[in-house]
Amino acid sequence: MRSPVRLDIDVVVAGVAVADVIGRPVDIGHLPRRGGLQLLDSMTLTTGGNVSNSGIDLAKMGFRVAAISRIGDDTLGEFILNQYERFGVRTEGVVVDPRRQTSATFVAVDPHGERTFLHTRGCLANFRAEDVLRSLPVIRRARIFAFGYLGLLKEVEPDLPRICAEVKRRTGARVLVDTGGNPRKAPALLRRLLPCVDYFIPSHDEAMVLSGERRPEAIVRQFRRWGAQGVVGVKLGAEGCFISTPDRETYVRAVKVRRVVDATGAGDAFVAGFLAATLKGCAPVDAARVANAVAASCVTAVGASTAIRRYTEYL
């Protein structure tokens, strides 16, 4: 009889790994004239994307994490790998791509903490389903597989239902899919994808585009009609979130913060908090409360993971 697989990874996070340069405060409506100069209070090099943000957040909270993504063979790629090593994120699923630069974003943060993004996709344009499927032996050792972003990896999107179905069929991992960038309304894709997904909680703006609906209750009903069977919801930013399970749905209020410094990575922090609490055995609504608390702490410092603390501090 074949021996059982040892589950020595809590979450495998796959998809977008980015180097971020965060400048603040930047008033996008009043940039310096052509050739001019504007002084900023700070400019910070940090990691970004769901793989880095949710992955490092989970690692800082005390969970075992592995990454699947692509980085370039350059200084920014080295920086990302160094950050993963620093926080204990495993990197056997990270491909170093010699053909394109590391994906990077300049994040302009306004005086109220809201962000505007300038992005180059770099080597993530070469990210494919095979980057994930060749790492199935790693995913098999994990409890949860989290993929992002639907809307930012257009080359992978047609294969995303196949990826999630293979993960469900060939591993014991539960599946979360997160959204980002500019998702499009694609009912045919979601009908194939959502039955394979255990957790689907997009942001409100992205959920409206995907579903064609406006109110969270209507959005969730549409996702259910397209085959969603597990936990479905909508992130509502400063208003918290709306969470739906097959037998219950409710709004979960946000945790208030005194001052928003930088909202970069708040959605990924929500995902990290939700998965952390789920791994600890919390029911979905209770996991959403923890997720709101982690997202709230995220926005109190510059950088997606700077303010994240140990899991027990959110209880």
**pLDDT tens figures, 77-116:** 999 999 999 999 999 999 999 999 999 999 898 988 888 9
Asked if residue 234 belongs to a domain, the reply is yes
Asked if residue 283 belongs to a domain, the reply is yes
Asked if residue 36 belongs to a domain, the reply is no
Enter the tokens of residue 197: 């997904």
What integer best gives the mean pLDDT of the chain? 95
How many residues comprise the chain?
315
Q: What CATH code is carried by the domain that includes residue 173? A: 3.40.1190.20
Asked if residue 172 belongs to a domain, the reply is yes
Number of domains the chain contains: 1
Asked if residue 275 belongs to a domain, the reply is yes
Q: What is the pLDDT of residues 124-146, one digit of tens each?
A: 999 999 999 999 999 999 999 99
Residue 64 pLDDT class (50, 70, 90 cuts): very high
Q: How far apart are CA 92 and CA 13, in angstroms?
A: 12
Asked if residue 4 belongs to a domain, the reply is no
Helix (H) or strand (E) holding 190: helix 187-193
Q: How far apart are CA 251 and CA 235, in angstroms?
A: 10
Asked if residue 37 belongs to a domain, the reply is no
Is residue 183 within 8 A of residue 151, CB to CB? The reply is: yes
Q: What is the pLDDT of residues 252-275, one digit of tens each?
A: 999 999 999 888 899 999 999 999
Note down the domain range covering 265: 9-28+42-307
Residues paired with residue 15 on neighbouring β-strands, in sequence order:
148
Residues paired with residue 233 on neighbouring β-strands, in sequence order:
243
Q: Which letter does DSSP use for residue 254 in this model? A: P
Q: How far apart are CA 206 and CA 185, in angstroms?
A: 9
pTM (2 d.p.): 0.94
Asked if residue 87 belongs to a domain, the reply is yes
Residues paired with residue 199 on neighbouring β-strands, in sequence order:
176, 231
